[in-house]
Every structure is written in C-alpha cells, then in structure tokens.
C-alpha cells in the first residue's frame, strides 16, 4: 500500500526497532522508485514529525488504551495518526478514515475497529489529554528523561529553550563556493530563481523554504553546497594560509574539508575511517572542482597512514552523539543510550591525543563536535589541556564558551582551538 500514513508507520516501526531514519528512508526510495514526489514529501514529513514528537505521542497513546498494544504495526499507525491529528492540517475525519483503511490491510482482524475507537476517543478528549501530557517531562518536551536531565545539568538557564529548538524545523542554509562566486552574487541568482533567502553572518545564505538541491541555481557546477551556518565556522577558525599542510581527520562527507579548500590554497589531507563515506568526499570535491588527498584510515592510529610530516592545521571533527543536530535527525533521540556518551568521550579523547602528536610546533588544532553535552566538549578539552603542557586553548572571541546552541540561524556545535607551543 502506498498511502503516506501507512508507509510512515512502517518506517517508524523500523526506527523504533533500532534502525537509522535516513537508512530506512533510502531503502524505501530504492524499493519504490516510482513514488510521486508528493507522496515522498508526505512520508518524509510524517516520519520525521512522528519521531520528533515520539514520547509525547506515546504518552497520549498509553492514556488512550487499557492494555499494551502487542501489534507493532498497529501501534505505529496510531502514533503517526496522532501526530497528524495534532500537528498537521489534514482534516481529522480524513486522518481517521485513512488510518482505519490502512488497518484493514493489516494481518489483524481487530485492528480497524480498534484504530477507529482509539482515534475517535482522542478527538473527544484531546484538550484534557494534551494538558496531562504537559505534566510529564518526556511528553512535554519530546525527549527522553535522561536527555532532559543532562541538558538541565549542563545548561541550567537555557535547557528549555534548547529542547524547544530541538523540536523545531531546521533551516536550510547554503555555503557559497567563493572560488566561483560571492555570496551577494549567488543571492541574486536565488532571487532570479524566485527562491527567497537571506544572508547570515559570514556569508551563509539561509533559504526561506527548503528545496531539493536540483532547484538551486548551478548546484551541479559547484557554486554552492548545503551546510549549516554553525558548520561553516570551522574553516575561518582554522586561520588558514596558503601552502599550509592541513589534515581533516574525520572528514566525511567532506563539508568542512571542501570549505577549507574553497577558503585557501592549502595541501589538504582528508581522512576518514569509513571508506564508503569517503566516496562522498570524493564526489563533493569533484562537483566543487577541488583537490585534496583522500585516505581511508583511523585517526586514533596514525601509524599506517601518516607520512611522518607534521601538519600546520588539524581539524578534529570527531564522532559524537550529534545532540546538537537532533532536529535534523530526530531518530537520534530515541536510538541513543545514556551510556553512549561515555563511549563517545573515550573515542574523542583517544583521537585528540593521537592527532596532537601529528601537529607541528606552533600549529593549531580545531576540536569540533555537533554535540551539546559537556561530557563530549568542554570536559574533553579541559582535561586535555591540563594533561598536555604544550597545549594552549586559544580564546575564540566571538564564541568564548566554544558552544553554539541550536537556534533559527544554526545548529548546535562546539569548537575549541588548541595551539601547540614552539
């Protein structure tokens, strides 16, 4: 059945069973190449939306039933339908009718009547149930309790605003390839194409409405890339100069590596552990007409791939929980476990220590994550500096804490710039 609601329910089931949303979406597009764009868009909206508000929807569903639902397909169909009833403009009776129709196609003869009863009951008691949901933090903020507690601990003043931003729609922002065109000129091309956009600090262009990249003027010619404004800070923080040897140690898919090459005539090595993801770096470099050396290797174990010559600049955009970009990947909130943070922290410490040995005296290393948790950010860098007398943390004047919080302009990122003594 190619009904968006049923397709989104199936995807939700796969994610709740432990799979990544992007992967299950790509699988669906491959299996159903003929899906009309309207249906694809609707499936995407519904699956992202149901995951964005999963714990709120789940709370409401629990309140509407007397016994646990043992059929996962029925449960997911109800969660997606509740999402539509609360957050979409589709008329309620149409949502219920389609859900009942989808339930008829399931291998459970009781499903249609059950789905009909639960959804109609919701429509009757909606206001009271929503008020009840607001009294329980995971249902109020649509995050796991441990995540809320962590943010409250790390950001006593900002945690609620962060949770709210995490549940908003992310902006679509472009990085202009200044080797080819200036941001003002590309803004004019966007206007000619009737795409509304505005320039953010640093020349990033934020579109009023997201579009597919094939609608962007001369995207295939490499004039622009899609990249969050927060991610666009890395290249300028690196303080690049022509002729420098630069290592991007966790480079795939190559957004920041490409920006480095667009910014200065440096000799760039782009390393990544994941060979398949490294192919995307090659594709991005080819589209943007940039040249760098690509190596598949482990940043934590440089010996097999390092040529022994120190680097002037190193970007360590280390693997992390991605807690700063959950509005782009709402599945992360439900797939992560609290214990993952300590594991990420161990990897981050190991990679940082290994890369430090490759940095030239007087060189600079930029440590970066797209996380908000101190355990992966400030704690790592503070401990590192305390145990490495040759490391000095430089002040980033426009971002003294190093931490960018998610906002209308950018995602959540962390940057720390370290200099090695001569």
Ligand X SMILES: C[S@@+](CC[C@H](N)C(=O)[O-])C[C@H]1O[C@@H](n2cnc3c(N)ncnc32)[C@H](O)[C@@H]1O
Question: Which residues belong to the active site?
Answer: 370
CB-wise, 80 or 271, nearer to ligand X?
271
CB-wise, 239 or 298, nearer to ligand X?
298
Burial of residue 340 (number of CB atoms within 10 Å: 0-12, 13-18, 19+): middle
State in angstroms the smallest separation of the CB of 388 from ligand X: 19
Query: What is the per-residue DSSP string for 207-240?
Result: ESS---GGGSTTTTTTSEEE--TTTTHHHHHT--
Long-range contacts of 153-161 (CB under 8 A, 24+ apart): 154/372, 154/373, 154/374, 155/372, 155/405, 158/405, 161/405
Measuring CA to CA, how many Å separate 36 from each of 32, 212, 354?
A: 10, 15, 49
261: helix, strand or coil: helix
Q: How many residues does the chain have?
A: 422
| Residue range at the interface with ligand X (CB under 6 A); choices 5-13, 44-52, 89-97, 297-305 | 297-305
State in angstroms the smallest separation of the CB of 347 from ligand X: 7
Can you tell me the distance from the alpha carbon of 210 to that of 328, in angstroms, rounded to the nearest whole number?
12
User: Which residues 344-383 are close enough to bind ligand X by CB under 6 A?
Assistant: 351
* Closest residue to bound ligand X by CB: 250
State in angstroms the smallest separation of the CB of 305 from ligand X: 10
Q: Which segments of 289-398 does DSSP mark as H helices, in order?
A: 332-335, 338-356, 378-387
State in angstroms the smallest separation of the CB of 299 from ligand X: 3
Tokens encoding 114: 């059950």
CB-wise, 71 or 280, nearer to ligand X?
280
Site string for ligand X, 300-329 (x = CB under 6 A): x----------------x-x----------
**Is residue 77 at the binding interface for ligand X, with CB under 6 A as the rule?**
no
User: Which residues 248-287 are close enough to bind ligand X by CB under 6 A?
Assistant: 249-256, 271-274, 277
Can you tell me the distance from the alpha carbon of 281 to that of 331, in angstroms, rounded to the nearest whole number?
24
What's the distance, Cα to Cα, between the start and end of the chain in Å?
A: 66
Tokens encoding 360: 């030239």
State in angstroms the smallest separation of the CB of 113 from ligand X: 47
- What's the DSSP call for residue 5? H
CB-wise, 75 or 328, nearer to ligand X?
328
State in angstroms the smallest separation of the CB of 16 from ligand X: 24
| Residue range at the interface with ligand X (CB under 6 A); choices 11-19, 137-145, 179-187, 292-300 | 292-300
| Number of residues located near ligand X, criterion CB under 6 A | 20
Can you tell me the distance from the alpha carbon of 369 to that of 206, in angstroms, rounded to the nearest whole number?
22
User: Which residues 224-253 are close enough to bind ligand X by CB under 6 A?
Assistant: 231, 249-253
CB-wise, 298 or 375, nearer to ligand X?
298
Can you tell me the distance from the alpha carbon of 274 to that of 283, in angstroms, rounded to the nearest whole number?
15
CB-wise, 298 or 379, nearer to ligand X?
298
Give contact residues for ligand X (rule: CB under 6 A). 231, 249-256, 271-274, 277, 298-300, 317, 319, 351
């Amino acid at each position: 059945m190619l009904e968006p609601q049923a397709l989104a329910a199936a995807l939700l089931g796969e994610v709740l069973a432990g799979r990544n949303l992007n992967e299950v979406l790509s699988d669906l597009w491959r299996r159903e190449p003929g899906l009309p764009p309207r249906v694809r868009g609707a499936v995407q909206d519904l699956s992202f939306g149901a995951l964005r508000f999963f714990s709120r929807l789940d709370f409401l569903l629990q309140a509407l039933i007397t016994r646990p639902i043992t059929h996962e397909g029925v449960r997911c169909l109800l969660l997606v339908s509740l999402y539509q009833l609360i957050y979409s403009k589709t008329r309620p009776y149409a949502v219920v009718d389609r859900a009942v129709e989808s339930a008829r196609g399931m291998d459970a003869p009781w499903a249609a009547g059950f789905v009909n009863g639960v959804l109609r009951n919701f429509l009757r008691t909606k206001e009271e149930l929503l008020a009840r949901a607001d009294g329980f933090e995971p249902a109020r903020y649509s995050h796991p309790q441990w995540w809320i507690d962590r943010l409250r601990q790390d950001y006593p003043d900002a945690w609620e605003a962060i949770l709210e931003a995490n549940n908003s729609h992310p902006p679509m922002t472009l990085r202009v390839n200044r080797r080819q065109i200036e941001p003002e000129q590309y803004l004019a091309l966007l206007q000619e194409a009737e795409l509304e956009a505005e320039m953010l600090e640093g020349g990033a262009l934020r579109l009023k409405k997201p579009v597919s990249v094939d609608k962007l003027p001369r995207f295939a010619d490499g004039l622009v890339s899609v990249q969050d404004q927060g991610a666009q800070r890395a290249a300028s923080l690196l303080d690049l100069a022509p002729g420098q040897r630069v290592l991007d140690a966790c480079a795939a898919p190559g957004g920041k590596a490409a920006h480095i090459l667009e910014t200065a005539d440096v000799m760039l090595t782009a390393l990544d552990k994941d060979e398949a993801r490294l192919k995307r770096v090659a594709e991005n470099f080819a589209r943007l007409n940039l040249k760098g050396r690509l190596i598949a290797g482990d940043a934590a174990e440089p010996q097999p791939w390092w040529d022994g010559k120190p680097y002037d600049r190193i970007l360590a955009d280390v693997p992390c929980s991605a807690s700063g970009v959950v509005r782009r990947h709402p599945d992360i909130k439900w797939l992560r476990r609290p214990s993952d943070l300590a594991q990420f922290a161990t990897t981050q410490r190991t990679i940082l220590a290994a890369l430090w040995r490759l940095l030239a005296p007087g060189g600079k290393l930029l440590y970066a994550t797209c996380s908000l948790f101190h355990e992966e950010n400030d704690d790592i860098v503070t401990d590192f500096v305390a145990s490495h007398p040759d490391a000095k943390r430089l002040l980033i004047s426009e971002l003294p804490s190093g931490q960018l919080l998610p906002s209308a302009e950018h995602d959540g990122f962390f940057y720390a710039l370290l200099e090695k003594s001569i």
